[in-house]
Amino acid sequence: MEEGRLEASAKEHLEILDALLSRDEEAVRAAMTRHLGHIRSLWAQ
C-alpha cells in the first residue's frame, strides 16, 4: 500500500466505528459507502 493509504484507511475505519457506536444509521451508511468506494478504486488499480 502506498504511503498514507494505510493511515487514510485506518481513519475511515475509526469513522465507521464512531458512527456505529453512536447508532447513527445514516452516518454508518455514508462512511461505509465512502470506504468501500475507496477500497474498490484501489483494487482496480
Question: Would residue 24 be called left, alpha or beta, if left means φ above 0 and alpha means ψ between -120 and 50 degrees?
Answer: beta
pTM: 0.79
For the cut 70, the answer to whether the pLDDT of residue 3 exceeds it is no
State residue 42's pLDDT score. 80
Please provide the average confidence, as pLDDT, over all residues in the chain.
90
Please state the separation of Cα 23 from the chain's center in Å. 16
For the cut 60, the answer to whether the pLDDT of residue 17 exceeds it is yes
For the cut 70, the answer to whether the pLDDT of residue 35 exceeds it is yes
* DSSP output for 1-45: --TTHHHHHHHHHHHHHHHHHTT-HHHHHHHHHHHHHHHHHHHH-
